[in-house]
């Protein structure tokens, strides 16, 4: 019969592997914007390939969460931790999917010059990466305040996305020949904006794990 000691060890390992997945995802976000900025097909292909690693880790962590819940009969607090880890793996995997979307777009547009220098989209990406780091730090420290502050930064991401949208729409109106290239950048910005939403979900799960209350932030 599983012991409390073995359960605690399994839960610690699960938490450590969640952090490892978070590191991989943050790196994927960074590299996707690097690939877009340089229109690097080599880097884009690496991102697409690395997404398989993240997908496999996501499925492994989900399976381990289910196994812990099914075999260890965890107490309420432990059950919230496992359920939160499970939910966070889903959001991390989806952030990685958005990085892959940007990489696949780079593969399509690599031969074209960018419509304009990238300023706001990399800034959006930087904020998302900071959110990820803070969210996982809040998870480790059980820090509700840090989680709430991290989630609030999604407003900055949304503001920058609106700014990018307006700017690119102006390009398209003034020069219809720019529509295709503007659309590509708009899709990249939208992908990063969605990353911010998923990072916010991670903050919500941290707060639920600590307090037992699940509520939407930034609504």
Q: pLDDT tens digits, residue range 63-74? A: 999 988 887 776
Q: Write out the residue range of the structural domain in which residue 50 sits.
A: 4-211
d(CA 47, CA 74): 37
Question: pLDDT tens digit string along 32-64?
Answer: 999 999 999 999 999 999 999 999 999 999 999
Domain annotation covers residue 16: yes
**Are residues 78 and 11 in contact, defined by beta-carbon separation less than 8 angstroms?**
yes
Domain annotation covers residue 216: no
- The enclosing domain of 83 has a CATH number of 1.20.58.220
Q: How many helices (H) and strands (E) does the chain have?
A: 7, 0
Overall domain count for the chain: 1
Domain annotation covers residue 42: yes
Domain annotation covers residue 56: yes
What is the pTM for the complete model shown?
Answer: 0.94
Domain annotation covers residue 207: yes
Domain annotation covers residue 219: no
Domain annotation covers residue 218: no
What sign for the dihedral angle of Cα 83, 84, 87, 93? negative
Identify the residue with better confidence: 85 or 217: 85
**What is the predicted pLDDT for the residue at 219?**
61
Q: Residue 122 pLDDT > 70, yes or no?
A: yes
Domain annotation covers residue 26: yes
């Amino acid at each position: 019969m599983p012991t409390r000691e073995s359960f605690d060890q399994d839960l610690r390992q699960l938490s450590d592997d969640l952090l490892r997945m978070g590191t991989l995802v943050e790196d994927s976000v960074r590299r996707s914007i690097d690939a877009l900025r340089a229109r690097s097909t080599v880097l884009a292909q690496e991102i697409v390939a690395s997404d398989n690693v993240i997908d496999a880790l996501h499925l492994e962590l989900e399976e381990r969460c289910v196994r812990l819940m099914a075999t260890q009969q965890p107490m309420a607090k432990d059950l919230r931790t496992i359920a939160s880890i499970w939910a966070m793996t889903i959001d991390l995997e989806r952030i990685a999917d958005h990085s892959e979307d940007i990489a696949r777009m780079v593969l399509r547009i690599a031969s074209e010059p960018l419509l304009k220098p990238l300023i706001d989209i990399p800034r959006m990406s930087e904020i998302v990466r900071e959110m990820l780091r803070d969210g996982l730090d809040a998870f480790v420290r059980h820090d509700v305040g840090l989680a709430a502050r991290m989630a609030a930064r999604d407003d900055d991401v949304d503001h920058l996305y609106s700014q990018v949208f307006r700017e690119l729409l102006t390009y398209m109106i003034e020069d219809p020949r720019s529509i295709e290239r503007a659309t590509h950048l708009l899709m990249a910005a939208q992908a990063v904006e969605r990353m911010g939403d998923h990072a916010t979900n991670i903050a919500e799960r941290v707060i639920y794990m600590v307090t037992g209350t699940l509520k939407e932030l930034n609504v």
